[in-house]
C-alpha cells in the first residue's frame, strides 16, 4: 500500500490528452512538500520528468506538465505519442516519524 | 550531471546480508545527498534511505532496523547493507542523487540499477 495513490493504469489514443492523478495527505503533498514525477520506460531506470510540481528538466517536451492542489497532484500529457508508453511515478516527502521519501504505486500508460 | 553505477552480488542467500556499492563519477560525492531506491520485479519504487558526507542519514521506517548506508569519499562510493534478507528483498536496486536544496527530495540522476535475487 503506497502512501501516495495513483491509478494503476490509464490509456489514450495517439494525439489525445491523458492525466494521471497522485493523491496524498496533509503530511506529504498537503504539507507543501514538492511533488516530482518520473517516467520509467520498459527495462530502464526511472527518469526525472517533472520536478517541483510543475517544472520540466531540459530535454523534456512541453507536452508534459504537472500541477498540484491541496493534497493532490496531476501529470498531464498532451499530444500522446507511442513513445510515451511507460510507467509513471509521483514522489514527495512525508513529515511523519523522522520524515521519509514516498512514492506513488505507479501508473502504466498505454497508448492505444 | 553525475553518473552512477551500482554493483554487487546478483544472488544472496536468505538470512544473509545484501551488500551493494554505488560508484559516482562526473561530480563530487560531497556535493550531494545520495539515495538508495529499490523496485521488486513488476512492482513500484520504494525508497530505502539517504546519506550525506556530513553524516546526515535517514532511512525508510519500514527498513530502518535492517539497513545501513555509508560513504567512502576516497573511492567516491556509496554503500548499502541490508541484513537478514528474505525473498521479499528481491529487487532492482538503484542509487540516485537526492536534492536537499531548492527542490526537496528530488532524485535528478539515477544509476542503471542492479538486480539482486534472494534465493538459496
Determine the pLDDT at residue B100: 81
Determine the pLDDT at residue A10: 98
Determine the pLDDT at residue B46: 98
Among the partner residues A33, A93, A103, nearest to B44 by beta-carbon distance: A103
Given a cut of 90, is residue B104 above it in pLDDT?
A: no
CA A100 to chain centre: 18
Among the partner residues B35, B105, B113, nearest to A45 by beta-carbon distance: B113
Closest CA to A16 of A89, A77, A87, A88: A77
**Interface with A, mutate which of B2, B44, B51 (most A CBs under 10 A):** B44
Average pLDDT for residues B9-33, to the nearest whole number?
95
Nearest CA in chain A to B103: A52
Determine the pLDDT at residue B101: 81
pLDDT digits (tens, 9 = 90+) for A31-83: 989 999 999 999 999 999 999 999 999 999 999 999 999 999 999 999 999 99
Determine the pLDDT at residue B1: 82
Instruction: Give A29's strand partners.
Output: none
Given a cut of 90, is residue A97 above it in pLDDT?
A: no
Interchain proximity B106–A34, CB inside 8 Å: yes
Average pLDDT for residues B3-21, to the nearest whole number?
97
B1 vs B65 pLDDT, higher one? B65
Work out how many CB contacts closer than 8 A connect A with B. 68
Q: What are phi and psi of B76, to 5 degrees?
A: 55, 50
Mean pLDDT estimate for chain B: 95
Residues in chain A closer than 8 A to B36 (CB atoms): none
Determine the pLDDT at residue B31: 86
Residues in chain B closer than 8 A to A104 (CB atoms): 44
Q: Measure the CA–CA gap between B87 and A47, rounded to whole angstroms.
A: 27
**Which grid coordinates are listed for B107?**
532524485
Determine the pLDDT at residue A27: 94
pLDDT digits (tens, 9 = 90+) for A7-26: 999 999 999 999 999 999 99
Determine the pLDDT at residue A98: 85
Interchain proximity A98–B44, CB inside 8 Å: no
| pLDDT-derived band at B89, boundaries 50, 70, 90 | very high
Average pLDDT for residues B78-103, to the nearest whole number?
95
Given a cut of 90, is residue A90 above it in pLDDT?
A: yes
Interchain proximity A36–B104, CB inside 8 Å: no
Lowest-confidence range among A70-74, B69-73, B101-105, B115-119? B101-105
Nearest CA in chain A to B40: A105
Residues in chain B closer than 8 A to A92 (CB atoms): 105
Instruction: Give A2's strand partners.
Output: none
Secondary structure letter of residue A20 according to DSSP: E
Interchain proximity B44–A47, CB inside 8 Å: no
Amino acid at each position: 500500500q503506497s502512501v501516495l495513490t495513483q491509478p494503476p493504469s490509464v490509456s489514450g489514443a495517439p494525439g489525445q490528452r491523458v492525466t494521471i492523478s497522485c493523491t496524498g495527505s496533509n503530511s506529504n503533498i498537503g504539507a507543501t512538500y514538492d511533488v516530482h514525477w518520473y517516467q520509467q520506460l520498459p527495462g530502464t531506470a526511472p527518469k526525472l520528468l517533472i520536478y517541483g510540481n510543475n517544472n520540466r528538466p531540459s530535454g523534456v517536451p512541453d507536452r508534459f506538465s504537472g500541477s498540484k492542489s491541496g493534497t493532490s497532484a496531476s501529470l498531464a500529457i498532451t499530444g500522446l505519442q507511442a513513445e510515451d508508453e511507460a510507467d509513471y511515478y509521483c514522489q514527495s516527502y512525508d513529515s511523519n516519524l523522522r520524515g521519509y521519501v514516498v512514492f506513488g504505486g505507479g501508473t502504466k500508460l498505454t497508448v492505444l | 550531471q553525475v553518473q552512477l553505477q551500482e554493483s554487487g552480488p546478483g544472488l544472496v542467500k536468505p538470512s544473509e546480508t545484501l551488500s551493494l556499492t554505488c560508484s559516482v563519477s562526473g561530480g563530487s560525492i560531497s556535493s550531494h545527498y545520495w539515495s538508495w531506491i529499490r523496485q521488486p520485479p513488476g512492482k513500484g519504487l520504494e525508497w530505502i534511505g539517504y546519506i550525506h558526507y556530513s553524516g546526515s542519514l535517514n532511512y525508510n521506517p519500514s527498513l530502518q532496523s535492517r539497513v545501513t548506508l555509508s560513504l567512502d569519499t576516497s573511492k567516491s562510493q556509496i554503500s548499502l547493507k541490508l541484513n537478514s534478507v528474505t525473498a521479499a528483498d528481491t529487487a532492482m536496486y538503484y542509487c540516485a542523487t537526492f536534492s536537499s536544496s531548492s527542490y526537496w527530495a528530488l532524485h535528478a540522476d539515477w544509476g542503471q540499477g542492479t538486480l539482486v535475487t534472494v534465493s538459496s
